Amino acid sequence: MNIRQTEILKVLEERRRVAISEIKSLFDVSEMTIRRDLTALEEMGYVTRIHGGVTAKNRLFLDSSFNQREKQQVEHKKSIARTAARMIEPGENVILDTGTTTLYIARELVRSNMTLTVATTSLAVASTLFNSTMDVLIFGGSLRREIPDLIGPLTEKNLLEFHADKLFMGCDGLVPDEGFYTSDLNISHIEEKMTRSADRVIVVTDSTKFGRKSFVKYADTDVVDTVITDNGVDRASVQVLRNRGVEVIIAAE
């Protein structure tokens, strides 16, 4: 499966049904190329071709679920999470977004027995922090079908009324001289509001996301203060980020 096919699946994970013309405009390739991609995805059992478009099969939601993504790059995510947790001071207000790496951060915080306030859109993060030493704030909103988090106008409004010392967020793609990407338009609105609510914006992401563009950019490079990643990152990308004023921390394995 190529990168574009993976991105098509991410769009379908959110939308379930998409027109070929829309996919073509999203990826700026020919209709013939998109049709070849969809044929390949249908042969793999992920989608069903319909007139003028494509729908997702249930298998897609099983294979691309939050739980499945949580199990990818596990050791890298754990080391990134340990590094991130050490940056948090007792008494701070912290936002954790809905990514799988931030879920690992939540687990590290539980082990720390630290006293602080954690705000999140992620029900998985909130559940992890239940009965811990932390005060937990869940931003209201609409519950998504496939991923246990909250989105929508109410979520965005509440985010802008909250102040955080630090924000920890993931990404689906990172182009060092351009910015940070997500595969989900709804999430991009949430992520953008989060960056406005925090004094320090910290992106936690494994090195496989570097050099990848996803569906929509949610933050320019200079919006982010720090990137925490693993030692698989290429040094050229690190240097570009540092030249743009972004602190880059390589997590120890």
- For the entire predicted model, the pTM comes to 0.74
Section 42-50 average pLDDT: 81
Tell me the pLDDT tens digit for each residue of 101-146.
999 999 999 999 999 999 999 998 999 999 899 999 999 999 886 6
Section 186-212 average pLDDT: 94
Task: Say yes or no to pLDDT of 202 above 90.
Answer: yes
Tell me the CB-side half-sphere exposure of residue 84, using CA atoms within 13 A: 35
**The pair of three-digit structure tokens given for residue 136, joined into one six-digit string:** 């937990």
- How much is the pLDDT for 29? 87
Task: Say yes or no to pLDDT of 152 above 70.
Answer: yes
| CATH 3.40.50.1360 residue spans of the chain | 68-250
b/e per residue 150-162 (b: at least 16 CB within 10 A): bbbeebbebbeeb
| CATH 1.10.10.10 residue spans of the chain | 3-63
Pick the more confident residue, 11 or 208: 208
Q: How many angstroms separate the Cα of 105 from the Cα of each of 79, 98, 124, 165, 181? A: 10, 11, 12, 16, 21
Yes or no: is domain 3-63 CATH 1.10.10.10? Answer: yes
Most confident range, picked from 20-24, 130-134, 142-146, 239-243: 239-243
Pick the more confident residue, 44 or 20: 20
Q: If pLDDT is split at 50, 70 and 90, which confidence band does 47 have? A: confident
Task: Say yes or no to pLDDT of 60 above 50.
Answer: no
Quote the mean pLDDT of the chain: 88
Q: Phi/psi at 29 (nearest 5 deg)?
A: -130, 175
Task: Say yes or no to pLDDT of 65 above 60.
Answer: no
Q: If pLDDT is split at 50, 70 and 90, which confidence band does 59 have? A: very low
- How much is the pLDDT for 242? 98
Section 185-202 average pLDDT: 94
- How much is the pLDDT for 76? 87
Q: If pLDDT is split at 50, 70 and 90, which confidence band does 68 have? A: low
- How much is the pLDDT for 63? 42
Tell me the C-alpha distance between 252 and 127, whole Å.
Answer: 27
CATH fold of the domain at 68-250: Rossmann fold (3.40.50)
Tell me the C-alpha distance between 98 and 246, whole Å.
Answer: 22
Q: If pLDDT is split at 50, 70 and 90, which confidence band does 45 have? A: confident
Tell me the C-alpha distance between 109 and 103, whole Å.
Answer: 10
